[in-house]
Amino acid sequence: MDSLKQKFAEKALILYKELRAINEEHGDKVMGEVTLNQITGGARGIKMMVWETSQLDAVKGIRFRGYSIPEVKELLPSGPQGEPLPEGLFWLMLTGDIPTEAEVNGLTKDWQNRSEVPKQVYTTLDSLPPDTHPMTQFTIGIMAMQSDSVFDRRYAEGMPKTDHWDAIYEDSMNLIARLPRVAAYIYRRAFKDGEHIPADKSLDWSANFAHMLGSNDEDFRSLMRLYLTIHADHEGGNASAHTVNLVASTLSDPYRSFAAGMNALAGPLHGLANQEVIKWIFEMIEQLGTTTPTKEQIQQYVQETLDARKVIPGYGHAVLREPDPRFTAQRRFAEQYIKDSDLIETVWKIFDVVPPMLEDLGKVKNPWPNVDAHSGALLVHYGFSEYSFYTVLFGVSRALGVLAAGIWTRALGMPLERPKSVTSDWIKEQLK
């Protein structure tokens, strides 16, 4: 058993027993109530699942096992320029402990050893028109690996319930190891005439991904380490994570549940907003005929978008009520690494202009930027302007959180998810 798995197994058994005992004693304790607004308003704030890997605070933002993004940046083993290695975040999410450098290096090696992608994935992707949306290619690529599922095979062989988490662990680790290769293959076939770049096994997970995409720029590698860390997890209630959890609760294997979650991420109100942001900015630049729009010009363009009854992409959030710390982390990166970029200056001007305008609408609960407001401008700066690919990058990162959480869910023996729906007649009846 590898050291991460060993460490996880010890902790999981303890928490499994503890939770069972708590449930036995306090199972009937009331822990909240549900309002009509929550029933008809997308279940905001209703507590209905256990998610060990991270917790979202409306004001402070994401905490990975209690650590903020600046703390994670400081404490996790990092690359040469000081950006955290996502391998370390995965270790932290799975065990609750900050890993040593040796532990993270061991995990990098483990993922390298697991990273070979079955041939049928490439032939399946090659059968699709190259202009198929990259997120569609991504989910098809993931599903083309499903026949390799360790969980699926062992379940058919009659594996006992106590071993489920072990098989989920194996699938999750294999999937995470392979995703950068699948994603880079999609990028190169869609945008670089199918000229693929072999993996470099001397590199960490993020730098190798950057390399396979086509860049060996040290600053871009650092961006990828940061990007793949901060997009990894946002507790369990967001649409992609919750989808993974729901599908996995049927004992569908990680390939199937993760692919389902990626289809949720591909919606413009969720992860696809990262492509929508840069598309919206490019259209503004074209319409105005300048790469350095003034705040007044931006204000006018924002107003036109709102008048057309469209959302301002990259702004607002279902939980957050302050600027997203993931936005701030990307801004800090730009301040440190990038000088004189019209596009990044524009992103910052939009940040000055949009919140008061959204506030004036009187209905937007959070007028601040979210994670997607900044990421595209950074990617364009390093030469990646093919924005339809951006949500795939988000998805590769999100695998770390949802799959780590999925291993926990199975280890804790969580049951089939099955909340209650009601009819409008039932609501009217209650109000009588």
Output 242 or 256, the one with its CB closest to ligand CMX: 242
Q: Could you confirm whether 196 is annotated as catalytic?
A: no
Q: CB 226 → ligand CMX: shortest distance, Å?
A: 16
Output 46 or 311, the one with its CB closest to ligand CMX: 311
Q: Could you confirm whether 26 is annotated as catalytic?
A: no
Which of 92, 168, 312, 411 is in the footprint of ligand CMX by CB under 6 A? 312
Which of 115, 149, 229, 370 is in the footprint of ligand CMX by CB under 6 A? 370
Q: Angle at Cα 213 formed by Cα 212 and Cα 214, nearest 5°?
A: 85
Number of residues that bind ligand CMX (CB under 6 A): 20
Does residue 19 interact with ligand CMX by CB under 6 A? Answer: no
Select the span of 165-173, 286-294, 340-348, 362-370 touching ligand CMX (CB under 6 A).
362-370
**Beta-bridge partners for 63:** 55
Does residue 1 interact with ligand CMX by CB under 6 A? Answer: no
Q: CB 55 → ligand CMX: shortest distance, Å?
A: 17
Which of 84, 237, 254, 314 is in the footprint of ligand CMX by CB under 6 A? 314
Which of 372, 376, 399, 402 is in the footprint of ligand CMX by CB under 6 A? 372
Select which of 164, 234, 270, 381 is catalytic.
Answer: 270
Q: CB 370 → ligand CMX: shortest distance, Å?
A: 4
Question: Residue number with the shortest CB distance to ligand CMX?
Answer: 316
Output 366 or 397, the one with its CB closest to ligand CMX: 366
Which of 185, 209, 258, 315 is in the footprint of ligand CMX by CB under 6 A? 315
Select which of 211, 242, 317, 374 is catalytic.
Answer: 317
Output 111 or 387, the one with its CB closest to ligand CMX: 387
Q: Could you confirm whether 270 is annotated as catalytic?
A: yes
Does residue 313 interact with ligand CMX by CB under 6 A? Answer: yes
Residues annotated catalytic, as ranges: 270, 317, 372
Interface residues with ligand CMX (CB under 6 A) are 269-271, 273, 311-318, 358, 363-366, 370-372
